[in-house]
Amino acid sequence: MVAAIPTARDSGEVAQHQFDRSDAALIGHYWDADGNQTSPLAISLLDRTGRIIPLAPAAATLLAEADIWSSPIVFDGHYALVVKGEVIPGPTYTAIARYLALDLTSGKVTVLLSATNLPPSPASGLDGPPPSVDMTPMGTTGDGAVARIMVAHVAIDGQSIEGRAYFEIDLASLRVSGPHSLPNVAPLAMSADGRYIGWTDGQLHIRDLTTGAETTVSGAPYSNEAAHGGIRFSPDDAYVLLEGYGKESMGFAVFDRSSGRLMQSIAVSEPDEPNADVPVWWTDGHTVVFQSLGAPSGHRIEVVSGAVADYAAELGVPVMMLG
C-alpha cells in the first residue's frame, strides 16, 4: 500500500457498481443519513492517479435521473457511459432509453444510442406497469477500447430488433456499430473478448459464439437474476465467476470455463444480505478480489489452489481494474 485516501463512502454505495475496465470510479453517497436520495448526488470521481474530482452540478443532476446502478463505465478520465430512461404518456405509453456519454466535469451529454419499446404498449393507467426498454451495459473489451450495450425487443433508428442484440461503442471516437445478434436468453453476460456468453436459468450455461459449443453446469451453488446474471469471465476466459444467492448465504462460485468444473465456492454474507462488494477478477486471470460483509479486511483468492490472502481494510472494496 502506497497511500490510503479517505472518502465519504461505504460498501453499500455506488462505487461497487463499476465495471473492471473503467479508467476511474464514481465514489460517494447516493443516499443521506436518513435514507433519502441526495440532490445533487454527493459523488466525486476517483481516477487512477488518486485524484478526487467533484462532479459538475449538471452531471450530478443527470446521474440522479439515470440508472446509475447499470454499472457506469468511466473512460478518458472524465466521461461516463450511463443509461437514462423515460416514459412518454399519450394514447399509448412509449418507453425510451438512451445510452449517453456524460462529461462528468462539464455536464455535457452526447446521445450514443436511443431505443423505444417494441411494440408500443396500450395505455393501461393503474391496471399494469408502464412499459420499459431493456438496455443493459455489458462492459468493455479487454483493452478498454470498446464498450458494449445489449438491447432486447426494441426499435432503433426505425429498425425493429425482436430478440437480443448488442452494439459496440468505440470509446476513442464514440462511433456506434451494430446490431450484433445474440441468443434470446437472459440474464446474459459476455467475456471481454466477445467470444463467450453466459446466462443462468437454474443452471449456468456458457456458449462459445465462434464455434457454437455450449457447456452447462448443473447444481451451481448460487443463482442471480440481475441484468448480467452475476456472471464475470476472467480476463483470459479460463474461468467464470457466478455471484448470487445460495441456500444459506450469498456468495460466489468459480468454474473452469471449458469443463464446467467447480473450482471454488465462497460464502461471503448471511442469508438475504447483499455481498459487501461484487467480486472482481485481478489482472493475472486466476485471482478474485472481494470483501465479505462486516469483515475487517478484504480478501483475494487464487482459484486453483484456494489460497486466500487479506488486504488492508482501509483500502476499501475493489471497484475497478488497474491492469
- Opening angle at CA 84, ends 183 and 86, nearest 5: 100
- In which domain, by residue range, is 321 found? 186-323
Indicate whether 53 belongs to any domain: no
Give the pLDDT of residue 275: 47
| 231 in a structural domain | yes
pLDDT, average across residues 99-122: 87
Q: What are 184-210's pLDDT values in tens digits? A: 887 788 998 999 999 988 889 999 999
Tell me what pLDDT residue 39 has. 63
| CATH number for position 274 | 2.130.10.10
Confirm whether 277 is domain-assigned. yes
Q: Is the pLDDT of residue 32 over 90?
A: no
Higher-confidence position of 314 and 126: 314
Q: Kindly state the cell numbers that stand for 227.
A: 441484468
CA distance 126 to 111: 31
- At 13 the pLDDT is 44
Q: How many domains does the chain have?
A: 1
Give per-residue pLDDT as tens, 241-278: 998 888 877 889 999 999 999 999 988 775 444 444 56
pLDDT at 158: 87
Percentage of the chain with pLDDT > 70? Answer: 75
279 part of a folded domain:
yes
Q: Do the domain assignments include residue 116?
A: no
Is residue 290 in a domain? yes
* Cis peptide bond N-terminal to 119, omega within 30: yes
- For residue 303, is it within any domain? yes
Is 265 part of a structural domain of the chain?
yes
**Alpha helices of 160-287 — where are they, by DSSP H?**
none
**Least confident range of 65-69, 202-206, 300-304:** 65-69
Closest CA to 94 of 71, 69, 119, 74: 119
Confidence band of 11 (pLDDT split at 50, 70, 90): very low
